[in-house]
Structure 1
Amino acid sequence: MSDISAGAQDTSLSLDLALTIRHDGHGGVADDLDRPEALTAWVRERAGALPDAAGFEADATALAEVREVRAAVRALFAHAVRPAAPSPADADRLLPVSEAVRRLNAAAALAPTVPVLTWAEGAAPLVRHEARTAAPAPDLLTAALARAAVAFLASEDRERLRSCHAPRCVRYFLKDHPRQEWCKPSCGNRARVARHHERHRAEA
């Protein structure tokens, strides 16, 4: 895997994990990883980015470990977007930054790997990470997610991370252009409608 593709993959995995916490459409927050079967499906949908994903079967322990990594990721996302406010889903339950960092580092260490260089004739050199020792599939998954988050948080992409503050949205997103305020156009529409109603109430 090249450094460029690895960086994009790290960003995508980290955001994908964070976005398994979402607005439920009824004023509350939904968790897409609420049971082992949901984690199994989520992992298998990312077979190109996660180790041994095609045959992965989650259990309660794997689910708990991934959700711990997610809590750490969202706490550090909230830290990264300061001085802006964090996602409303996180505001009342954020881990301390030191605990989130400790949790990510511990998860990343579950499956020790080494970088392996390959360089085919006529191609660019590639680096992939191979396990040094055998590890259970849940540990491989947890370590991969934690490492993706560590790489993303240490990258320049972190500077583009924002929390969306459109009504009812709890998402984080990467700001793609200077005027972008929301994660998607529908959130922008809701925010503009809410501002319009607020102005009319203030004038009444």
Structure 2
Amino acid sequence: MADLEPLIGEPLALDLVNTRPTGADLLETPTQLADWLRLQADRLPEPSPRHLSADDLAAVHAVREHTAAILEALLAGRRPPRAALDGLVYAQSAAPAIRRLDFHGGIVTDTVARIGEPGARMVAHLADAAASLLVDPDVARVKRCAAPDCVMLFLPAHPRRQWCSPDRCGNRVRVARYYQRHKGTG
């Protein structure tokens, strides 16, 4: 399973958590992280850093693990671990947000920007994405894939959705069911 392409298209925080399917880590190296960030480029406020370090990778892993721990607790109806909540806050604080002021069309405008090193800004944005998901009432709809050997999480657009991906787990489960129904009839 280590050669799987990352699934994308869920909220950014779920896409990050889903980079650790059973028995694999799709973000094992800074190069794999850079590739994943390119897949997510339209959802990031700035281009990913040109050079990602082992420290950047470790910080992304920490955000991923904190987010996963919180989601696991919520899925089980438990209180999220304080250390995981604090870990996301810490990741955000490594690149503080400021309001940049400008003047356009006769009015003062602002945009929120993060300050700090490029890697810290990228990690802070991922932590922001996790925080946004976790405080959204839709977090209660997050599901785990129904395939027996899959750990992927998703936010279903349709209440009957069961699998992380109809092409991956959906097809695999349907083929297995077909095989089970027809294995003695040949």
Q: What is the TM-score when the length of structure 1 is the normalising length?
A: 0.69
Match of 2:112 among 129, 143, 152: 129
CA shift in 2, pair 1:176/1:119, >3 Å: farther
2:94 paired with 1:102:
no
Seen in structure 2, the aligned counterparts of structure 1 residues 71 and 142 have a Cα distance that, compared at 3 Å, is same
Partner Cα separation in structure 1 for residue 151 and residue 100 of structure 2? 39
Give the aligned partner of residue 152 of structure 1. 133
Structure 1 gaps of 5+ residues are 1-10, 24-28, 85-95
Asked whether the 8 Å contact 1:51–1:140 carries over to 2, the reply is no
Residues 180 and 113 of structure 1: is their aligned pair in 2 closer, same or farther, counting only changes over 3 Å? same
3-state secondary structure, aligned to 1:157: helix
Structure 2 residue ranges without an equivalent (≥5): 1-9
Looking at both structures, which has the greater relative contact order when contacts are Cα pairs under 8 Å and sequence separation is at least 6? Answer: 1
Q: How many residues align?
A: 168
Q: Distance in 1 between matches of 2:25 and 2:37?
A: 15
Residues 145 and 108 of structure 1: is their aligned pair in 2 closer, same or farther, counting only changes over 3 Å?
Answer: same
Cα deviation, 1:141-175, whole Å, max 9, x if unaligned, reads 11111011001110122122111130321200012
Q: Does 1:60 align with 2:54?
A: yes
Question: Which residue is 2:15 aligned to?
Answer: 16
SS in 2 for 1:43: helix
Over 3 Å counting, the alpha-carbon distance change for 1:75 and 1:199 in structure 2 is farther
Q: Deviations over 1:56-99 (max 9, x none)?
A: 31111111111011001111111222259xxxxxxxxxxx7111
Calculate percent identity across the aligned residue pairs.
36
> Partners of 1:45 and 1:179 in 2: how far apart?
27
CA drift of 1:40 comes to 1.8
User: Structure 1 residues 113, 80: CA separation in 2 closer, same or farther (over 3 Å shift)?
Assistant: same
Alignment correspondent of 1:113: 97
Structure-2 separation of matches of 1:142 and 1:166: 31
Letter in 1 for 2:142: L
Q: SS at the partner of 2:11?
A: helix
SS at match of 2:158: coil
Match of 2:6 in 1: none
**Are 1:188 and 2:170 an aligned pair?**
yes
Aligned to 1:42: 36
User: Contact (CA 8 Å) 2:63, 2:123: kept in 1 or not?
Assistant: yes
Q: Secondary structure at the match of 2:14?
A: helix
Q: Name 1:26's counterpart in structure 2.
A: none
Q: Using the alignment, how far apart are the partners of 2:95 and 2:83 within structure 1?
A: 20
> What do the CA deviations read for 1:73-129 (whole angstroms, capped 9, x no partner)?
111111222259xxxxxxxxxxx71111111111111111134688988xxxx9741
